[in-house]
Amino acid sequence: MSIKHSFLFFTFLETNLSIILFFNIPLFISFFEIIFSVLDFTIPFGVAKIEREGTDVTITAFSRQVGFALDAAEILAAQGISAEVINLRSIRPLDRDTIINSVKKTSRLVTTEEGWPQSGLGAEICGIMMESDAFDYLDAPVERVTGADVPMPYAQNLEVAAVPAVNDIVFAAVKACGRNL
């Protein structure tokens, strides 16, 4: 996943804009197979990527939560729920059209982020749903999966409890689909 962030970094280098990049430290110690033939491109800002197609629920995520969302989609598939996973890649500008079109297709939305629930990206995406015609397509309330509303703990065991995990995303998606675990 961190290699994708470096593609955004290359895009930053090609622009004249002032940009802030946030990196998730655990991604730097994760190991992924890299295909070097794809290292010669940049990712445009504000363009999300549908990592997995689905028909029952849309899951939006960025950074480390994308991997968690994909793992959750696998678990949901075993339960008969087809989840579409959107990797937001950049949060400002935000690819509103991809999110809206996906929600129109699935009629349900789960947002996931490691930040606090107040004033977070999930709250912004909920606002987008209320202000767009995607609202008319929603069959259930938007489910937000966020970090705990506490200061980020330093102890590893407490940090794990404070950030969303795969099971939290699965629970929210099942709830959005109106099914019992």
| CATH class of the domain whose range is 46-176 | alpha beta
Q: Where exactly are the structural domains of the chain?
A: 1-45, 46-176
Residue with the bigger pLDDT between 33 and 123: it is: 123
Using one digit for the tens of pLDDT, what is the confidence trace for 162-181? 999 999 999 999 999 997 65
Q: What angle do CA 29, 33, 36 make, to 5 degrees?
A: 115
* pTM of structure: 0.82
Using one digit for the tens of pLDDT, what is the confidence trace for 58-108? 999 998 899 999 999 999 999 999 999 999 988 889 999 999 999 999 999
Is the CB of residue 43 less than 8 Å from the CB of residue 11?
yes
Using one digit for the tens of pLDDT, what is the confidence trace for 5-34? 555 666 666 777 676 666 666 665 555 454
Q: Could you give the CA distance from residue 66 to residue 100 in angstroms, rounded to a whole number?
A: 18
